[in-house]
Chain A
């Protein structure tokens, strides 16, 4: 019994040691573990011009302009995290998921005029999954404008049209409007 107890204590002590070592190492390198920096982090401490890094945030509503740059598709848009905003220029094909209100990660560098020159743009989708009918019902009822940001709380839409809250997508949207009134 005592030998087993001793082995258990030894294993637990080793586990605590390894765990705290890993935690210390990861928190020390947390800047380099992060995949991208947000606009407000750039506003607080801008990376030196010419250094390549990744910028992440939401594409601001109404900020996207698509252009042609020497026959190639190009785009200008603003990336925001709600507190700060960075203007991004990109020449190339944007991913299918790219739209206003969508999360994006752009790889590039700060130009002398303070804007961000992107070499590559990745779309970052959020953790919400819904069919087209539900998204349409939310948009029509005015509960969600996808260009403005992430969808409303899941409990208001994840059973829409399944019979749990209404008879169809529109019935669900109606009950959604009622519950929103009751809640708000």
Chain B
């Protein structure tokens, strides 16, 4: 065994790539796969969302006591669902980043944050617009509303924390811990209306009973929720793809800069050596 192999890194560099690119061997497959999947997610998402919203906002029947104000539901409910589901996805990415050190999970978590925060903001805004004409208040500090506001702040905190470090890996780590700690808010949001007295009504659609909603309203809501979910997935996929490509480009540029610097240094060393000889 000679010196060069003894001090070589234990990880075998893959053929055809630099050592930094090795981290993204899997993301390379992700890029190919997601590129193929993306149009099949984005297009149905757009079509279903439009169909659900047109059906719900224009054709579905008005509620017997809320009147046309009930149509806010076709935006509010999918946004609320996505706020929670997005955070659950963020927590799952954080878990897989902390435990299995999956390189893609960090990037996905970084990109889910702003999209989920947008869904939560939409949920809070539409809820407020719905609350004033029906309840008689823009905002109340009941358990459901407050726990969703906390979720919004968790998203904002995650966005800020992951981007606050010079070293993106450290930011991802801190953000992952925050996301997992914040996941305790998800069951609180879900069960707040059952555990405590709240102004917000309990769930209409449950796993155990028949939905307490007329079918002619339930269908457009279902389409809108499915469409917006696909749209959410498509946006996150596109953002993650862009992030992977950005990291790749940065690694390539850094490698090239290092090689050029190395060549110049080598030439200078060569000249010096020549001078001495």
Partners in one complex: yes
Assess whether A33 is in contact with B213, with CB atoms less than 8 Å apart: no
Assess whether B197 is in contact with A37, with CB atoms less than 8 Å apart: yes
B165 on the A face (CB < 8 A): no
A164 on the B face (CB < 8 A): yes
B202 on the A face (CB < 8 A): yes
A130 on the B face (CB < 8 A): yes
Assess whether A158 is in contact with B215, with CB atoms less than 8 Å apart: yes
Residues of A within 8 A of B (CB): 4, 7-8, 11, 14-15, 18-19, 22, 26, 30, 33-38, 56, 95-97, 99, 105, 120-136, 151, 153-155, 157-160, 162, 164
Report chain B residues within 8 Å CB of A132.
61-62, 64
When each residue 97-113 of chain B gets 1 if its CB lies under 8 Å from chain A and 0 otherwise, what string results? 01110000000000000
By DSSP majority rule, is chain A's interface helix, strand, loop, or mixed? mixed
For A133, the closest partner residue in chain B by CB is: B61
Report chain A residues within 8 Å CB of B140.
35, 122
Give Cα distance in the complex from A18 to B183, angstroms.
10
Assess whether A158 is in contact with B211, with CB atoms less than 8 Å apart: yes
The minimal Cβ–Cβ distance linking B91 to chain A, given in whole angstroms, is 10
Known: A4-B100, A35-B140, A35-B142. A128 touches B197 (CB 8 A): no
For B181, the closest partner residue in chain A by CB is: A18
Known: A11-B99, A34-B197, A130-B63. A124 touches B135 (CB 8 A): yes
Known: A105-B199, A133-B61. A128 touches B134 (CB 8 A): no
Report chain B residues within 8 Å CB of A130.
63-64, 213-214
Report chain B residues within 8 Å CB of A157.
214
The minimal Cβ–Cβ distance linking A114 to chain B, given in whole angstroms, is 22
Give Cα distance in the complex from A158 to B221, angstroms.
14
In the complex, chain B residues 168-216 whose Cβ is within 8 Å of any chain A Cβ: 180-181, 183-184, 188, 195-199, 201-204, 209-216
Report chain B residues within 8 Å CB of A97.
65-66, 134-136
For B218, the closest partner residue in chain A by CB is: A158
For A38, the closest partner residue in chain B by CB is: B197
Assess whether A4 is in contact with B210, with CB atoms less than 8 Å apart: no
The minimal Cβ–Cβ distance linking A173 to chain B, given in whole angstroms, is 14
The minimal Cβ–Cβ distance linking B33 to chain A, given in whole angstroms, is 24
The minimal Cβ–Cβ distance linking B55 to chain A, given in whole angstroms, is 14
The minimal Cβ–Cβ distance linking B202 to chain A, given in whole angstroms, is 5
Report chain A residues within 8 Å CB of B202.
127
B93 on the A face (CB < 8 A): no
B133 on the A face (CB < 8 A): yes
Known: A33-B196, A126-B201. A131 touches B216 (CB 8 A): yes
Report chain A residues within 8 Å CB of B201.
124-127
Give Cα distance in the complex from A36 to B141, angstroms.
11
